[in-house]
Homo-oligomer: A and B are copies of this chain.
Amino acid sequence: MKKVRIGMLGIGNVAKGTYRTLELNREKIQASTGVSIEIAKILNRDISKDRGIDIPKEKYVTDAYDIINDPEIDIIVELIGGIEPATEYMAAALKNGKHVVTANKAALAVNGRMLQELAQEKHVMLRFEASVAGGIPIINAITTALMSNEIDDILGIVNGTTNYILTKMSESDADYNSVLKDAQEKGFAERDPSGDVEGHDVANKLSILMSLIFGVGILPKDIPTHGITSINKVDISIATELGYKIKLLATAKKIGKDVECNVQPCLVPASHPLSSVNNEFNAVFLRGNAVDDLMFYGKGAGPLPTGSAVMGDIIEIAKAIDKDSAFDRQPLLRFDADLRFIGEGRNQYYIRLRAEDRPGVLGNISSTFGKYSVGIETMMQRPAPKGDNTTVPLVFIVYETEREVLDKALAEIIENKHAVSVDNVIRVED
């Protein structure tokens, strides 16, 4: 039986999950691939540290290049995370003619093109299923079974931390800070949560999906990105009352030659499948011109779910090595589509204002919306918060309009003192 030798860079949670996935299912993997897969070397810079997993010490090396330059190693699995030195290591491995599997969304979103070119030059595979939505085999589906479709619409809940926080806020009526603290204690949020809660992690994943699906290269920093820090429990409870859930969505839509993409919290109708994606779960919703609506749901993080995706990639490469078959079966990032990036386009919006509690206010606000042709679908007045006798919260959901026009209307409402403040504006997605 052919032996395929893996060198793993990193010994964090995903690395341990990958190791455990192989241990757990070695028999099945061997029977179905006809190949024996061995994780032969693991980069572990501090061997004295207890990693909480029983791995033979002789597998550990402290220098990445002991793995990258080892001629016996067939596949490098990069699970360090972060842009550098991960990119450097992957590039070096590819140059050495080794296949690379990675879960690294940040490095791929920025350096995917260069890495892929290196892989193609050396006729090796670069696979990265785990980089988007963890265990959900979305990249595999997009780049194989769904190649028969033009996909024009992507909506994703692709960050478990923020989805956990929003779910708990909606279930418990607790505020953002206390839920974040709870999430940190449970290990669903990192000590520095900014990469998650400010949406940057989602932007990395959207950048990768857009390259796979639309064939455009957009850097994460160029995707308009808003996190969940502006969402408070008032918005969540009003949204629920109006039949919506608030979710942090990655959205990308192609209309002809125009593309719009955003990372931002959105109101999702309770009837939409994405609205019941709760806690740390992820989901990617796509619309293809033949297959119509599709949704893939599962765990977007965690050692074993992510390990499942990494191991899936390793298996595909191992089978190809065994059969000596064409190495063109990796997912292909593309950067050549002739598309134009546009703003948010026309959308429905949820608007929460604070206004003085006096007659005529509502009429004035409605008239200003009317002046800008912003149609009101839903209006809701809430009781004033305790201790505030002078202002009342007003909530509007308006029909499809351009964000720019809406912002002008809102500026005029404030300028004319019809409202005291615009407390939140959230896109409504259906």
Q: Quick check: is A393 within 8 A (CB to CB) of the other chain?
A: no
Binding site for B on A (CB under 8 A): 17, 20-22, 24-25, 28-29, 32-33, 129, 135-137, 140-141, 144-150, 271, 273, 276-277, 281, 288-299, 302, 304-305, 307-309, 311-312, 314-316, 319, 323, 325-326, 328, 332
Q: Do B308 and A291 touch (CB < 8 A)? A: yes
A129 to B21 CA separation, bound complex (whole angstroms) = 26
Most buried by B among A291, A292, A295: A291
A297's partner among B294, B315, B316 (CB-CB below 8 A) is B294
Q: Do A21 and B308 touch (CB < 8 A)? A: no
For residue A310, which residue of chain B has the nearest CB?
A: B148
**Assembly of this chain: how many copies?**
2
For A316, list chain B residues within 8 Å (CB).
144-145
For A295, list chain B residues within 8 Å (CB).
295-298
For A304, list chain B residues within 8 Å (CB).
289-292
Q: Do A136 and B297 touch (CB < 8 A)? A: no
Q: Given that A21-B148, A145-B137, A148-B29 are known contacts, is A292 also in contact with B315, CB under 8 Å in the complex? A: no
A290's partner among B144, B281, B305 (CB-CB below 8 A) is B305
Q: Given that A292-B305, A294-B136 are known contacts, is A312 also in contact with B145, CB under 8 Å in the complex? A: yes
Q: Do A137 and B141 touch (CB < 8 A)? A: yes
12 further interface pairs, Cβ-Cβ under 8 Å (given A135-B292, A291-B299, A325-B325): A21-B290, A25-B149, A28-B150, A140-B141, A144-B312, A146-B312, A148-B315, A276-B276, A294-B296, A294-B297, A294-B299, A295-B298
For A150, list chain B residues within 8 Å (CB).
24-25, 28
A298's partner among B135, B294, B314, B328 (CB-CB below 8 A) is B294
A315 to B270 CA separation, bound complex (whole angstroms) = 37
A296's partner among B17, B147, B288, B296 (CB-CB below 8 A) is B296
A40 to B296 CA separation, bound complex (whole angstroms) = 34
Q: Do B332 and A328 touch (CB < 8 A)? A: no
Q: Do B273 and A25 touch (CB < 8 A)? A: no
Q: Do B292 and A299 touch (CB < 8 A)? A: yes
For A144, list chain B residues within 8 Å (CB).
137, 140, 144, 312, 316
Q: Do B129 and A308 touch (CB < 8 A)? A: no
16 A/B residue pairs, CB under 8 Å, sorted by A: A21-B149, A135-B288, A135-B292, A141-B141, A146-B308, A147-B315, A148-B307, A273-B277, A290-B304, A290-B307, A291-B308, A292-B302, A293-B298, A293-B299, A296-B296, A296-B297
A240 CB to nearest B CB, Å: 15
Q: Do B292 and A147 touch (CB < 8 A)? A: no
Q: Do A309 and B145 touch (CB < 8 A)? A: yes
A141 to B147 CA separation, bound complex (whole angstroms) = 14
Q: Do A289 and B25 touch (CB < 8 A)? A: yes
A145's partner among B140, B271, B294, B302 (CB-CB below 8 A) is B140
A278 CB to nearest B CB, Å: 8
